[in-house]
Amino acid sequence: MPIIKSKFSPSFPFKNGHFSTMYRSIFMNESHSYNRRRITTWDKDFIDLDFSKVNSSKLVVLIHGLEGSSESKYILAAASELNNAGYDTVSFNLRGCSGEDNLLLPTYHSGKTEDLDFVISHLIENYSYDKIMVVGYSLGGNMTLKYFGEHVKTISDKVSCGVAISVPVDLASSSRTMGTSKNKIYMYKFLRSLRKKILLKNQKYPDYKLDIKKLLKSKTFKEFDGLYTAPVSGFSGPEDYWEKASSKPYLTSIKKPVLLITSSDDPFLAQECYPFKEAEKSNYFYLEVTKYGGHVGFISSLFSKKNRWLENRILQFIKDYG
């Protein structure tokens, strides 16, 4: 019954989920240097991998969330702290998220574990790491959890453990929650970024009959996923996409140590995104639910040197199980 009682206890301002969610991206100063490697995929596209090496025998794969990248502040913070602790890192930029549009009409989506499997296979075949660990955030966390449960029979022995943070394990309920008035500012930001990318796709692929008027008017993930994500990725509609891409059905199949860190006050998540029953049934899937933390926040203090609880928690788990 691997449900972990959390010790995370932030100071007063960070006991508000929205404040914690926004603080990291707006106020935290993070920087890190990478060495980029571009790899060609099986379907003639490309993926950009940003390495940060300290000559370690262990590698941590970092996967960002929706419309993030290797430059997202939570990725920069993790890469820095993991390097300081003696781990090499590689930040996996999902297709179309590395600052350059990918070559194909489809980009990435929450359940596209074939890309993660391809990246890990590439790392095993081309580098001599003894152990590989995976850390995913939000959308990248859903991909991480789904990968460990879905690829349980084929996953390499070199892949030792994983950590997922602030994950919408049930995409349908999370999408509905994101469509509520309390999350209007987040939806505006996400859809503004997504629309720009898809309008560019429309120019590159004129045969793709995108309804531009509907795209520009879209205000929810259901509308956006129905117009783009679902049809270009082979799903019959947004509900079909959410059902098949969600990691929740795969959690009880996980057979390697994986930790999900999530907060009770995460404004992005519905009640269905807290998989207590799945953790209780598993010997490998660990769940740690903090009282506070927001969405990929987990900031504890206005003093930046004290704001490494999340990175230290990730590090502790991969030291124990990696």
Q: Which residues of the chain have pLDDT under 70?
A: 1, 304-305
Question: How high is the pLDDT of residue 214?
Answer: 94
30 and 113 fall within a common domain: yes
- The enclosing domain of 263 has a CATH number of 3.40.50.1820
141 and 184 fall within a common domain: no
192 and 165 fall within a common domain: no
Question: How high is the pLDDT of residue 248?
Answer: 98
Buried/exposed 280-298: b ≥16 CB within 10 Å, e otherwise: eebebbbbbbbebbbbbbb
163 and 176 fall within a common domain: no
Question: How high is the pLDDT of residue 322?
Answer: 86
Domain boundary (245, 263, 281) is at 245
158 and 254 fall within a common domain: yes
Say how many domains are in the chain. 2
Q: Which domain holds residue 241?
A: 171-245
57 and 119 fall within a common domain: yes
314 and 200 fall within a common domain: no
Domain boundary (245, 271, 304) is at 245
293 and 154 fall within a common domain: yes
Question: How high is the pLDDT of residue 12?
Answer: 87
228 and 282 fall within a common domain: no
80 and 227 fall within a common domain: no
Domain boundary (220, 245, 270) is at 245
Question: How high is the pLDDT of residue 178?
Answer: 97
- pTM exceeding 0.85: yes
Question: How high is the pLDDT of residue 301?
Answer: 87
227 and 304 fall within a common domain: no
36 and 119 fall within a common domain: yes
Question: How high is the pLDDT of residue 284?
Answer: 97
